[in-house]
Every structure is written in C-alpha cells, then in structure tokens.
Chain A
Amino acid sequence: MTAALSVQDLHVAIGRGATSANVLRGISLEVQPGEVRGLVGESGAGKSMLGRAVLGLLPANATIAAGSISFEGRDLVAMPEPERRSLFGRRIALIPQDPMTSLNPVKRVGAQVSILLRHHLGLSRRDALARAAELLAEVAIREPGRVLGLYPHEISGGMRQRVLIAMAFACDPTLVIADEPTTALDVTVQRQVLQLVERLRQRHGAAILFVTHDLGVVAKICRTMTVLHAGCVLEEGETADVLAKPLHPYTRALLAATPRADRPAEALRPVPPALIDSLWAEAHRLDRLSAMAPS
C-alpha cells in the first residue's frame, strides 16, 4: 500500500550560506491512508515547519536542502506548479492553526467555502452554495444558510474553526494536515472540535497528520505518533505503546511534564535542562557532520 504521505530524510534550512540555520535535520515519516498520526514536540522542534514544507508554504528564505516529500508516491517537491495546485485543497487539505485570521475578513463565509467547491469540483455558483450549506450542517452549525451570508468577524472562533474544518474535508481529501487546530481555542471548544475532526475523518476516510504540542490531544485521537525535537525524529510508534513505554528519555520527560487529572500537580516535572542541552549538542553535531560531507 502506498503511503498517503511519505517524507524521506528531509532537511530544511533557513537562510543561505554561512548564516543559514537548519530547522529540519533529516526527518523521515510516513502516514498510511486513513492513519491519524500525531506530530508532537516543543516550540521550535520543527513540527509546524514540516507541515508547511508538505503544503509548499515554507517562508521565502527557507529552502529544502535535501530529501523528498511524496504524496501517494508522487514527489511533491519536484511536481510542476499546476499539478500541485490541483492536489491542494482537493486531495491534500489544511486545518489551519488560527481560525481568527485564516478566513478572509472581507468575504462572506459562503463565498469562501463555495470558491473552493467551484475551483475543484467545477460546481456552479448556486450548486456550490447549496453544497456549502450541507458542509456547514455536517460540522454542526445551526442555520447554515444564514451563516453563509455572514462575515467571519460576525461568528465566534469555534464556529470559524468549524467552517475551516468543513472546507478542509469539502473535497474528500486523502490527507489532512491539522496544524495545531485547537491551540487558539478554549478548552471546552477544543473538545468539540476534536470530536468533529474525528467524526469527519471516519466519514471521509482521510489520513491526518496532527501537529500539536498537546500530548493529551494525541492520546485522544491519534493512533500513531512521532516525537520531534530540534528537527530530528526522536521516537515514533503506536500512541498507546509510546505513551505507556516511552523509549527515549525526552519522551519520558515530556510525559512527566504533562499535567494529568489522575496525578497530583506536585508530580509534574519540567523537562531537565541538561537533557535539552544534550539534544541540541547532538543536533549541532549533525549539522557539522553534514556541513563537512561533500554535497
């Protein structure tokens, strides 16, 4: 079976020449069709950068130094632009991090959902609006017809995130990249959004790469997980196994630093600074090695 997403030995650097900094140091990971993989790590671990690399949204000064990203066996990096555009939005979709800014502020919700449907499915304006209403109903928005006529600033953050989720699943994608979709929402809304993502995933059969720093979220909806630090994969496996028997000391430290309802707050331990230092030392050793290697 071809993996929905296969990333092989991906190196991404920001800047060029002597001042360049590596952000991804040879990451490999696969997401099988229908799999929900959590991608966890602290800030700066490179988890969002990986998501952006897959979506072709790297910042202008970032370059893919080595490695490949393929979607269903097709190389996304080398693919010509028109072909990529026909995949994005239709076969590969994004649930963005911040629902407050990810919708165009001056266009009605209906116009934004229907442009996607018209672009990829070739629906007429009227059919697209009708389908958009169905999609909003699917993400449990009441009175979808009325919401379609509103501007983004007239609906709540939770509702905007629902609209974005509806858009992500609108064309039955094979792969959805969820970039910390619950970070900007408060806890009660987070739970509903997670349930919604899980329900839509089952209905549409998409694979999800769930980028998050919240181990609780991973435990709830991801079957497999990958732990990232300093642009390197530290550990991966079935979520249940990794959480029950973490092999890498960093994963263990992360778990000890995660608040849980069944443990007293005093049991929380911060990740030891010595561990972080040694991980970075290792990352920089890798940088020196690759700089010395003939390219």
Chain B
Amino acid sequence: MVDLALDSPVGRPSRWIAGLKRGGPRLWVGGALVGTLMLVALLAPLIAPHNPIEQDLMSAQLPPAWSAGGEPAFWFGTDSLGRCVLSRLIYSARTAVAVALIAASLAAAIGIAFGLIAGSFGGWVDQATSRLIDVWMAFPPVLLSIVLAAVIGAGLTSVIAAIVVVDWTRFARVVRAETMVQLQRDYAAAARVIGLSRGAILRLEILPNLIPLVVTLLAVEMGIAILVEVILSFVGISVTGDTPTWGGMIAEGRQIVYQAPWIMALPIGCIISSVIGFNLLGDGLRTVLDPVQRR
C-alpha cells in the first residue's frame, strides 16, 4: 500500500501545433487557397479596383493588362460590356463563399440529425431512413435543382435549398455508419452503464467522435456546393440581375470565347483552385483531427 502512486504522465507542449505539423503540405496548400478565397470574398469592396457592374462600352473586350492592347487600369481586361473582369471575379467569390458556407452547413446539420437517428435507433427507423436516402440519391441533383428553382423561383435561396435538399444524404450516410461503429465501442457501453440517456450519449459521447469525419466532409461539401452554384448560375437559375457569379461569367464568356478567351478562362481557373483548395483542406484536416492518428 505504500507505493501506489504512479509517476505522472509526460504531457506534450502543445497538441495543436503537433497536429498542424502532421497535416502536411495538403493542409497548408488547401488552407492557403481557402483562406485566400475567404479573404477575397470578405474584403471584396476594398480590393476590387472597379465597380463590378459599371459598364463602359467604349472599352469593351480589352485584353489583360500585360498583353498587347491592354490597359493598366484593367488587369484582367474587360468583358463584352466593358466591365472589369478582375472586379467581377472578386465579387463572384462572395456568392460562391456564401453558398458554400450556408448550404454546406445546413446540409451537414440535416444529414447529421438523420444519420444519428438512423444509426442509433436501428431497426425499422434505420431501414426507413436508409431507403429514403437510397431513393433520394437516385435523383439527378441538377434536375432536382432546376425543379426547385422553378417552384421557388431563381435566386440564392433556391441555389442553397437545392444543394441542401440534394446533399444532406452525403452526411446522413456517413454519420449513420460511423454512429453504428461508435455505439459498438466500449466507451459507449460504459456511458450507458453510468446511466446516460440515449440522447445524452449521442450528444456528449458519440458526436465529439464524429467531428473529424464531419469537418472533412464539410470541406469537401463546400467544394461541391461551389461547383453546383457554378452550374446553376451557368444555366441562369442562380442569383439574378447584376450580381456577378463565376458561372454567369463563363456563360457570357462562352459566346465570345474565340475573340476574348480570358473572360471564360479566368473564372474557370478560380473555380478549379477553390475546389482543389477545399478538397486538400479536407484531406489535411482529416489527418489532423483523426483521433487514431493523434495517438
């Protein structure tokens, strides 16, 4: 009975710094791309050189500043209505980021709720939810969005609604499976034995274990949301009127792609780098947050 006390464990200086180091280049590159996108969206009025909807037909289809005939005032040139392409790219980021953040979060919230319920109740509740998801995923998402836009009208709301309605299943399936796995773990049984209710176990014990997975999915989903927004604005059922979007810019640039290829190429470049950024960030975050790799 004398020497019962163990030596105290050796704590590491900071688990956060160690975790970020383990994320590797994916985390850094992804984080930088996404961070830039967020900053550009946030600071659009400050960094855009011109008003994105200001037309100047006298200086339409100017090439980028560095090529012959370009003007230094318009870095990336102007479109067929003489609007500054750079400013339009910058303002378009606002739409993209707003859709990515809101739609992905809502889809995640709904999907997690369904996934937790299906995964923890099992039985017919699980069967019903799983079949609903199966049927749901058989619908082509773009078609569903067009129907939605027709019903509730074009605009940002219907874009977000379309993404949420289509993509909650992505979260629901993964969360359901992982909830089942986690509930089989000893710690979940231990939580039941200390008298916690099902709801409390899900909220306090299971949900924290799902965070790495959900964060990863969320990053990927944001990339997907940006793509969907581009598709919908390309076909003209996203935001209406003068608000610039990457999809809208591609649609406009497509008509004059032989005379002014940069008008179409630049928004495509923005889309590619944002989606790659979100995917890399998701990959990197998974490594950082995964409790198994954190050991």
* Beta-carbon contact of B208 and A101 below 8 Å: no
Question: In the complex where A116-B194, A167-B194 touch, is A150 in contact with B187 (Cβ < 8 A)?
Answer: no
Residues of A within 8 A of B152 (CB): none
Question: In the complex where A55-B193, A103-B187 touch, is A147 in contact with B294 (Cβ < 8 A)?
Answer: no
Residues of A within 8 A of B7 (CB): 142
* Beta-carbon contact of B195 and A106 below 8 Å: no
* Beta-carbon contact of A146 and B11 below 8 Å: yes
- CB-nearest residue of chain B to A94: B193
Task: Kindly state whether residue A221 has any CB partner on chain B within 8 Å.
Answer: no
Task: Kindly state whether residue B42 has any CB partner on chain A within 8 Å.
Answer: no
Residues of B within 8 A of A93 (CB): 193-194
* Beta-carbon contact of A85 and B196 below 8 Å: yes
Complex Cα distance, B181 from A170, in Å, reads 29
Residues of A within 8 A of B192 (CB): 56-57, 88
Complex Cα distance, B185 from A89, in Å, reads 18
Q: How far is the CB of A204 from chain B (nearest CB, A)?
A: 16
Complex Cα distance, B12 from A120, in Å, reads 33
From B8, B12, B191, contact of A142 by CB (8 A): B8
Which one of A154-162, A251-259, A270-278 contacts B? A154-162
* Beta-carbon contact of A106 and B186 below 8 Å: no
Specify the main secondary structure of chain B where it touches its partner: loop
Task: Kindly state whether residue A290 has any CB partner on chain B within 8 Å.
Answer: no
- Chain A residues 67-105 with CB under 8 Å of chain B are 84-90, 93-94, 96-98, 101-105
* Beta-carbon contact of B195 and A120 below 8 Å: yes
Residues of A within 8 A of B195 (CB): 84-90, 119-120
Number of interface residues of B (CB under 8 A): 32
Question: In the complex where A93-B193, A142-B5, A158-B6 touch, is A106 in contact with B208 (Cβ < 8 A)?
Answer: yes
Task: Kindly state whether residue B291 has any CB partner on chain A within 8 Å.
Answer: yes
Residues of B within 8 A of A90 (CB): 195
Contact-size category for A: 35 or more
Question: In the complex where A94-B193, A105-B187 touch, is A141 in contact with B204 (Cβ < 8 A)?
Answer: no
Residues of A within 8 A of B197 (CB): 85
Complex Cα distance, B186 from A87, in Å, reads 20
Q: How far is the CB of A141 from chain B (nearest CB, A)?
A: 7
Residues of A within 8 A of B15 (CB): 151
- CB-nearest residue of chain A to B10: A154
* Beta-carbon contact of B4 and A119 below 8 Å: no
Task: Kindly state whether residue A2 has any CB partner on chain B within 8 Å.
Answer: no
Task: Kindly state whether residue A65 has any CB partner on chain B within 8 Å.
Answer: no
Complex Cα distance, B187 from A146, in Å, reads 22
- CB-nearest residue of chain B to A56: B192
Interface centre among A97, A103, A119, A146 (most CB of B within 10 A): A119
From A98, A153, A155, contact of B295 by CB (8 A): A153
* Beta-carbon contact of B193 and A156 below 8 Å: no
14 other A-B residue contacts (CB within 8 Å) besides A140-B6, A151-B15: A60-B122, A88-B193, A94-B190, A94-B193, A96-B190, A104-B205, A105-B291, A141-B6, A142-B5, A142-B8, A153-B295, A154-B12, A159-B9, A162-B6
Q: List 4 tightest A-B contacts by C-beta distance, closest first.
A: A89-B194, A140-B4, A89-B195, A88-B195
